[in-house]
Structure 1
Amino acid sequence: MSATTSTALVLARRIGIVLLFVVILLRPGFGRAEVPTQLSDVDVIVVIDRTRSMAALDYEGKLPRITGAKADLTALAEALPGARFGMLAFGTDARVVLPLTSDSAAFGAAVETLYLEKPKDGIGSRADRPVPELKDLLERSAEQAPQRRRIVVFVGDGEDTTSEGTDESYADVADEIAGGAVLGYGTTQGAPMPEDDDLTGDLGFVQDSTTGDTAQSHADLDNLEKVADELGVPFEHRTRPGGLDDLARSFKASYSDGSGGHDRPAKHDLTWLAGVLLLALLLLELHAGWRAVWASRHVLAPRKGALR
């Protein structure tokens, strides 16, 4: 083999190694395969308070209430794999921020990116404000998937900051759900609310417009218990992370293992083939390297009879 041909083969081999590394990172595939997945029969609708009072610093000491709420929702989603989750946020108004979905990543993103209203947004809030939107969401879920069980998880501090609006009752939707919970955050003693969006307090705290003093938000646990009674679900005052596994089990979700038409489509993965080819090229490269080492040792070794 000529030196030119040998050099070309070495270059081609090394280019092949680089290209195969890229192919493996891209995870190639073709067609569609059926991948079993665990599916639940539960739809969990989270009704969450996004008013400024959820920034008050009285969760687990001096953390924002919303920090505890987000941690609990993340833990609840992990404890209910395969369930569909949706989110209805309320403050000055109430709106669906995430339709029901089995995409856990989408729910996680909705939780993580949920933002609170600014201190001077709107005219105040009420814990019963989302009832009409919740009723509509439950009815649409029942029409689309009547076989599924609907769960409502209310998340908030129960503080009403206005008397304006129509009185609503969660009892109007109690017959449409199979269970749920009211998770309450904050203390009745109250705490200040950071002014900045990052909730660090670097820009100071929300001020009471009537007195000019630092405003205090007081959780209304009685109001939260009233919401729980109307829904017919338990109330839990959340003061620290953890302990949600029992709550998740109380929803009594049943699961399918992917059989009976519940498989998830996916591509036939060809990454293994690229890996085999890469291994072969790397072995050739190592073999060539060892040959070069042994050849250099032979050339440099002193010959018999050579002068010392």
Structure 2
Amino acid sequence: MSFAPWFPWWVILLAGSGLLVCCLWLAFRERGRRISWLRRGAMVLLLALAFLRPGVGGADASSAATQLDVFFVVDTTSSVVAQDFGDGQPRLTGVKADITSIAAKLPGASFSLIGFAQDARVLVPLTSDANALTNSVDGLSPEITVYSRGSSVTVAAKSLAARLEAAKRAHPDRARVVYYLGDGEQTAATAPAPFDLPEGLVSGGAVLGYGTSAGGRMLVNSGFGNGLGPGYIQDYSTGSDAVSKIDENMLRSIAQQLRVGYVHRAAGDGIDAAMTGVQAGVLRIDGQSQVRAQFELTWIFGLGLTALAGWELFGAGRELRRLAPPAAGIARPSKGAP
């Protein structure tokens, strides 16, 4: 059996034991109301056990993943369709496949999708609806080429921080995992601002890198129709097709800032390398905190507490009726009345 208390365990034990001792003392003092105080003592004990959140192992991974918020930060600049992934496929093919595979490994988790090009956009707010994530991932596409003006690899930092802070406020007991997917290519004129996230805000995840050092050409996205092209983006300084190359040093720097690992992705790679620290059954986050996959027993104590609370309310109702004054015009018979 394991415990995942809602509050620090010593606070629960200290408060619970204090209240329980008071109930037992009053049960000893007030012999006429002994049952009532013993009942209240039992309620205190059940409430303390419920706050300790006991459970037993054996649940599937989804019971652990329901305690997880997963944020995908995805590069949607023109370089995401550079054709150097696998057999001339765009990098976006690998990005989509990896997001889908990670989500499948974490059934029951809540997911959010943030895309970035010149600026960042929340494409999917944090939701447990996996279909919403799947549909948005299927529709991912690069920015329209004519609007491209250069972008920063950390432009999503503020948006990510705001979403993480909101998730922490809403569910402080849940782990927060970040997956950054991109090529690390900085095309803005200024150096990228760092991901300045408070310590403990990100519980785990990975930076996933796509592309090769040789690079690949990028098809034009005109914004019309469902496909890319015809034609490739031009490098006007050379008069030939532009080539995008991965910057793994930048990606490793981003991973260090997020306090997660870096994994280069290639066609055919399994997803397990990206799941290091986020294991099914027990989700270990940064080797410190963990979310256990277990059968929760809290509901059992909740049922007992509900039954005792109903008994308490019934007793209180009887007491109120006994103490209530008689209705107007109705006299209670005296003791000497026949």
How high is the TM-score relative to the length of structure 2? 0.62
Contact 1:51 1:90 in 2 (8 A): yes
Specify the alignment match of 1:17 in structure 2: none
SS in 1 for 2:264: strand
Specify the alignment match of 2:315 in structure 1: none
- Structure 1 gap segments, 5+ residues each: 1-35, 262-308
Question: CA shift at 1:211, angstroms?
Answer: 2.5
Of 218, 221, 224, the match for 1:193: 218
Q: Which amino acid aligns with 2:209?
A: G
Instruction: Provide, for residues 98-130 of structure 1, a one-character-per-residue CA deviation record: whole Å limited to 9, x for no partner.
Output: 111111111111111112102222421111111
Query: Structure 1: how far apart are the matches of 2:81 and 2:254?
Result: 21
Q: Output aligned runs, 1:82-231, within 5 Å.
A: 82-164=108-190, 167-196=192-221, 203-231=230-258
Question: CA shift at 1:195, angstroms?
Answer: 1.6
Of 56, 68, 75, the match for 1:49: 75
Question: CA shift at 1:95, angstroms?
Answer: 1.5
Q: Which amino acid aligns with 1:74?
A: T
Contact 2:263 2:273 in 1 (8 A): no
- Comparing 202-211 and 232-241, the one that deviates more: 202-211
Instruction: Provide, for residues 18-49 of structure 1, a one-character-per-residue CA deviation record: whole Å limited to 9, x for no partner.
Output: xxxxxxxxxxxxxxxxxx98452111100100
Contact 2:208 2:274 in 1 (8 A): no
- Comparing 173-182 and 186-195, the one that deviates more: 173-182
Contact 1:94 1:129 in 2 (8 A): yes
Query: Structure 1: how far apart are the matches of 2:294 and 2:69?
Result: 15
Query: Structure 2: how far apart are the matches of 1:150 and 1:245?
Result: 19
Query: Structure 2: how far apart are the matches of 1:260 and 1:213?
Result: 66
Query: Structure 2: how far apart are the matches of 1:120 and 1:231?
Result: 32
Question: CA shift at 1:73, angstroms?
Answer: 0.5
Of 44, 65, 77, the match for 2:91: 65
Specify the alignment match of 2:324 in structure 1: none
Specify the alignment match of 2:268 in structure 1: 241
In the superposition, relative to structure 1, how do residues 201 and 112 fare at CA in structure 2: closer, same or farther (>3 Å)? closer
Question: CA shift at 1:241, angstroms?
Answer: 3.4
Contact 1:158 1:219 in 2 (8 A): yes
Question: CA shift at 1:199, angstroms?
Answer: 9.2
SS in 2 for 1:250: coil
In the superposition, relative to structure 1, how do residues 214 and 67 fare at CA in structure 2: closer, same or farther (>3 Å)? same
Query: Structure 2: how far apart are the matches of 1:202 and 1:121?
Result: 15
Question: CA shift at 1:245, angstroms?
Answer: 3.0
Query: Structure 2: how far apart are the matches of 1:174 and 1:116?
Result: 32
SS in 1 for 2:114: strand
Contact 1:157 1:220 in 2 (8 A): yes
Instruction: Provide, for residues 143-175 of structure 1, a one-character-per-residue CA deviation record: whole Å limited to 9, x for no partner.
Output: 11111100110000000111247x421242453
Instruction: Provide, for residues 199-257 of structure 1, a one-character-per-residue CA deviation record: whole Å limited to 9, x for no partner.
Output: 97651211112232111011111100100111111100001234213533522154466
Query: Structure 1: how far apart are the matches of 2:193 and 2:142?
Result: 23
In the superposition, relative to structure 1, how do residues 81 and 246 fare at CA in structure 2: closer, same or farther (>3 Å)? farther
Query: Structure 2: how far apart are the matches of 1:245 and 1:260?
Result: 32
Query: Structure 2: how far apart are the matches of 1:249 and 1:255?
Result: 17
- Structure 2 gap segments, 5+ residues each: 1-59, 284-290, 300-338
Query: Structure 1: how far apart are the matches of 2:142 and 2:217?
Result: 15
Q: Which amino acid aligns with 2:120?
A: A
* Runs of 4+ with deviation above 3 angstroms: 36-39, 196-202, 253-261
Identity %: 34
In the superposition, relative to structure 1, how do residues 205 and 258 fare at CA in structure 2: closer, same or farther (>3 Å)? farther
Query: Structure 1: how far apart are the matches of 2:245 and 2:91?
Result: 11
SS in 2 for 1:236: strand
Query: Structure 2: how far apart are the matches of 1:61 and 1:224?
Result: 23
